[in-house]
Amino acid sequence: MTRVLGVTTALALAVVGTLSAQADEVTGVITKIDPAAHTFRIGDQVFTAAPNNTVGPAYEDLKDGDKITVFYEKNTSEAISNATSITKVAQAAVAQQDLNFATKAAEGGLMEVQLGELAQQQGKHEQVLQFGKRMIQDHGKANDKLSTLAEQKGIQLPRTLPEDAQQKYGELQQLSGTGFDKAYIDEMVDDHEKDIAMFEKQAMSGEDPDLRAFAGEMLPTLREHLELAKRAQSH
């Protein structure tokens, strides 16, 4: 059972009831803390908490990635809500294999979308342009789903490309027309072959059931992408 300063959650809720009859509630993972302003963010919502909060963990004890339940007073005049109670939610440890998979899948998904967007600008043949659009649509949806799963599990996903992917993007950015088409499609064949192997491994041996299911659900789409890329490569 989750505890707040040694009292049970049920008692904490009773305390909150005396603080504000209009208190609202949200549960999520902290994504940004501003120590100077004593604010933190959950999703698109920003909260403020007193440094010596008496109905939850001290503000200084919170960190990015903590999953918490916040009771707060609605504030219609300002964008920042006043937190009246903060409860840390216990999270099961995520296995290293699952963490590695989520990180690599997020990096790969970002790369596929950004290169798909680049293909719309630099590509020439219609087959390449249509393939790029599929990458934006399919991997964009997958990225959103993975982001939701990661937030539920307190996993911090990368939001920018790793250095090697940035270098590859820069190389492709220098190309255009048929030169871009060939280099881009070759990259897509190579990427999707690696992605399929990684997703198959996660679907078979991942410990987290949600991430294992996500990998399994994505495999038919990734295999279709590989087939489309190989067809474009042969033309």
Percent of the chain with pLDDT strictly greater than 70:
77
Rounded Cα–Cα distance for residues 119 and 177 (Å): 10
Q: Indicate the residue type of 154.
A: G
Same domain, 171 and 128: yes
Write the CATH number for 51.
2.40.50.320
pLDDT surpasses 90 at 20? no
Distance between CA atoms of residues 149 and 191, nearest Å: 23
Task: Give the pair of three-digit tokens for residue 231.
Answer: 């067809």
Q: Domain check: are 225 and 112 in the same one?
A: yes
Flag whether pLDDT at 213 surpasses 70.
Answer: yes
Q: Please, which pLDDT band fits residue 66 given cuts at 50, 70 and 90?
A: confident
Window from 89-103, 150-164, 176-190, 213-227 with minimum mean pLDDT: 89-103
Which parts of the chain are beta strand (E)?
3-4, 7-8, 23-34, 39-42, 45-48, 67-73, 80-88
Contact 153, 93 (CB under 8 A): no
Domain count, the chain: 2
Instruction: Evaluate if residue 6 carries a pLDDT over 70.
Output: no
**230 lies in the same domain as 125:** yes
Do 78 and 183 belong together in one domain?
Answer: no
Higher pLDDT, 132 or 45: 132
Instruction: Indicate if 204 and 139 belong to the same structural domain.
Output: yes
DSSP symbols for 69-118: EEEEE--SSSSEEEEEEEEEPP-PPPPHHHHHHHHHHHHHHHHHHHHHHH
**Which domain range does residue 138 map to?**
96-234
Give pLDDT, residue 25.
79
Least confident of 7-21, 55-69, 120-134, 206-220: 7-21
> Which among 67, 60, 80, 82 is positioned nearest to 2, based on CA atoms?
67
d(CA 208, CA 225): 26
Same domain, 77 and 105: no
Q: Of 88, 123, 157, which residue sits at a domain end?
A: 88
- 82 & 101 share domain: no
Tell whether 105 and 206 lie within a shared domain: yes
60 pLDDT more than 90: no
pTM of structure = 0.64
Average per-residue pLDDT for the chain? 81
Q: What is the pLDDT of residues 140-181, one digit of tens each?
A: 999 999 999 998 888 889 999 999 999 999 999 999 999 999
Hey, which of 21-30, 85-94, 150-159 has the most confident mean pLDDT? 150-159
Backbone dihedral angles phi then psi of residue 83, each to the nearest 5 degrees: -75, 130
**CA–CA dist 120, 15 (Å, integer):** 56
Q: What is the pLDDT of residue 135?
A: 98
Count the Cβ atoms, other than its own, within 10 Å of residue 124: 14
Give the pLDDT of residue 12. 32
Higher pLDDT: 59 or 134? It is 134
For residues 157 and 113, state if they share a domain.
Answer: yes
Judgement on whether residues 171 and 84 belong to the same structural domain of the protein: no
Q: Give the number of other CB atoms < 10 A from CB of residue 146.
A: 22
pLDDT, average across residues 179-189: 97
Which of 2-16, 62-76, 91-105, 115-129 bottoms out in mean pLDDT, i.e. has the lowest? 2-16
CA distance 141 to 116: 14
Q: Closest by alpha carbon to 83, among 46, 30, 33? A: 46
